[in-house]
Structures are given as C-alpha cells and as structure tokens.
Amino acid sequence: MKIKSVRTRVWTWKGPTVPPQGNFCTNASDALWMKGDAMSSFRFHQWLTCEVETEDGTIGIGNAALAPSVVKKAIDDWYAPLVIGEDPFDYAYIWEKMYRRSHAWGRKGIGMTAISAIDIAIWDLMGKLVGKPVFKLLGGRTKEKIPVYYSKLYAGSIEAMQKEAEEAMKGGYKAFKSRFGFGPKDGMPGMRENVKRVEAVREVIGYDNDLMLECYMGWNLDYAKRMLPKLAPYEPRWLEEPVIADDVAGYAELNAMNIVPISGGEHEFSVIGCAELINRKAVSILQYDTNRVGGITAAQKINAIAEAAQIPVIPHAGQMHNYHLTMANTNCPISEYFPVFDVEVGNELFYYIFEGDPEAVDGYLQLDDDLPGLGITISDKHLQHFDIAE
C-alpha cells in the first residue's frame, strides 16, 4: 500500500472572537517595550490540516497550529515529495527521512511541526487501514477513562476568575490551570497581584483539587526565583514555562530549587530535544505537543525516555493526537483539556475544524475502543467562519 498524495489546507478563522482582556496572559513578548496586545503573536486563529491518502483512497488526518501558512509551504514544497510513494507502515523510516533530509533547517520549529502534521496523519491512516484506534497500536488502554484538567482561567479580575473557577467546579473538574497576568515589568505590585489571584482561585477550588500555574514563557529566572517561595503555600502541582524555551539552564535551576515542580516542553521539538530536558532535569513534568514535537512516532519514543527517568508526560493541549498517547501510556497520568468556548486565544479552534474530539464529563474523557484511527473527521459545520487556502 503506497501513499499517493498529501493535501494541506490552511484554515483562517473569520468568525467572532473574544477580544483580549488586559493582562490576561504573560508571554515571551512581555520583555519587549511594545505597546498593545503582547499575546497577539501567540494566538491560534489559523490552523493547518494535512490529509495523507493511500492508493486505496484511505485518508489519514494530521494537523498543526504553529505558523500554519509557513508549515503548509514546507510540506507542499519539501516534505510531501519525501513521503509520496512510501508505505505508511514504514512510518519510522519515513520519519527519519523527513528529519534527516531537512536536518539543516528542520530540526525544530517549522520543520518539526510539518513532520508532526504528516506523522499524525500517517498514524490516523494506519489505524484506519487496520481497523484499530491509534491508542491500540501504541500500547492499548491503560486507563478506564482519561482524567483531564480544566485549562483556561486567563488572568482577569479576581471576581471573574473566581466565577469561572466556580463554573468549572460545577462542571465536575478536579484539576485547574490558571494563567498569570503579571511579570518582571510589573515589579513587586505585579507579584502581589499574581499571588492574590492564586489565593482567590484556591479559595474556590480548595486544596483537594490540583492547581497548575501557567507563565507561558513570560517570566525570567530572576523573577521566577523570587516568585516560587510566594507561590509554595498554595501548593501548585506545577509552575509551567517560567522562562523562555531556550533557557534550559534556567529551567534546571528552578526545578532544582524543589519549591514547586517545574513543567515545560510545549515549545521543545524532536526526541533529542525532549531528552535534553529530561537528562538535564529541567522539568518535573514534560509537556510536549504531539503536533509540534515530531508527531506520534517521536512522542512515543519520548514517552519511553521519560518513563525511564520517571518524569510524567502530560502533553500540551487537548486534541486526539495527544489523548491517544495519554491513553496508551501509564506514565501519562492526565490530559490537558481546553473547554469548548468562543474563540479567544484560539487554543479551542480545533473544535470548529474537526468533529470527534470528546467532550469532558465530570473531569474525564473517553476514547472508543472500536473507532479506527484518531477518531476525528473534518467538519463542515463551521465552514462559513473560515477562509480555507488549499
């Protein structure tokens, strides 16, 4: 069975969006003097779909959210010709071929994202060709159902964050991730504002539920070292991306302080890139995203390395490509879950492109033992809200 085509499309959201609300999420651009919406370059209002088709007409669906229009070009011009004519079940060889033939520029970022989208499509394809869900090809069911954590709680007024946390509690969630709104440029007053919001969310969710704290690369080593002791009393399960992704030494220093577990990895790429985070003890929880790190082929290899180091893997984002890996690995204890919302940052945009993503019920989600592949289709329900570029 050979791959006969690779079809990429870029989906640009033109529907209603929720406008940014002030200091709602620290991020890597906060260190710039720029005025205005620092999160603007971190929104996901475009998405890439990648459909890999075999001679018999079976189509596997992959996707990517980072720089979709550039990734499309990389796939169309460079990677698609490498995979057409190959047998999808030679997925390890295909992965190496894409990785090594673009090694001069593709090891991280755009290239690895393109490799990820194709690889995810190949795994969906293989599942469909053998009539098995992808998780059954990876190790099978390791959980009755997948516990999830509610991931939103962007920084806003204390009242608004407490209201959102109350609603999420009513939804049955038992773990919650909130975002910080203040960082180094906001000085001591900002530190106090950050702590106030952590305390306020804890007041609502109590101490029997997990609270994770997200910096999204918006702090630095000095600021994070000063913040950790202030956060410890609120018992966060982890502090996420406190420094920029390249500051692996900073990650390792913060993690070694052993005050709050440090997590990261959603902006790391390839097996070796994640092995570096593990081997340098830079993270206590690894959070690659399968549609960035190298797809399912790479993610499963990373899962083995993480398991050997007893570092739990909790992939960034929801989406089926991550859920299947979590279901198939005991060392992947829970999944991140973006509740279905109006399009804001855009983490939730995939709900408007695909059908089949499970909705969390009482803090859990379920995968179907008998649904071949990833279990998603491309939806036609929201086409009026997208411009689609072939």
Q: Which residues bind Mg ion (CB under 5 A)?
A: 240
Nearest-approach distance from CB 343 to ligand LVD5IZTE, in angstroms: 12
Restricted to residues 99-158, the positions that interact with ligand LVD5IZTE (CB under 6 A) are: 151
Nearest-approach distance from CB 144 to Mg ion, in angstroms: 27
Kindly give, in sequence order, each residue whose CB lies less than 8 Å from that of residue 246, ignoring residues fewer than 6 positions away: none
Which residue blocks in 26-181 are alpha helix, DSSP H?
68-74, 80-83, 91-101, 110-130, 134-138, 158-170
Kindly give, in sequence order, each residue whose CB lies less than 8 Å from that of residue 157, ignoring residues fewer than 6 positions away: none
9 binding partner (options Mg ion, ligand LVD5IZTE, none; Cβ < 5 to 8 Å by kind): none
Query: Between vectors from CA 262 to CA 219 and to CA 358, what angle results, nearest 5°?
Result: 100
344 part of the interface to ligand LVD5IZTE, by CB under 6 A: no
Pairwise CA distance, residues 3 & 259, whole Å: 50
What's at 304, amino acid-wise? Answer: A
Size of the site for ligand LVD5IZTE (CB under 6 A): 10
Q: Site for ligand LVD5IZTE (CB under 6 A): which residue of 51, 266, 268, 348?
A: 266
Restricted to residues 155-184, the positions that interact with ligand LVD5IZTE (CB under 6 A) are: 179
Q: Site for ligand LVD5IZTE (CB under 6 A): which residue of 74, 254, 332, 345?
A: 345
User: What string of DSSP letters covers 361-389?
Assistant: BTTEE---TTS-BT--EE--SSGGGEEEE
| Residue closer to ligand LVD5IZTE (CB basis): 319 or 347 | 347
User: What string of DSSP letters covers 240-279?
Assistant: E--S-TT-HHHHHHHHHTTSS-EEE-TT--SHHHHHHHHH
Restricted to residues 202-231, the positions that interact with ligand LVD5IZTE (CB under 6 A) are: 214, 216
Q: What residues line the site for ligand LVD5IZTE (CB under 6 A)?
A: 25, 151, 179, 214, 216, 266, 316, 336, 345, 347
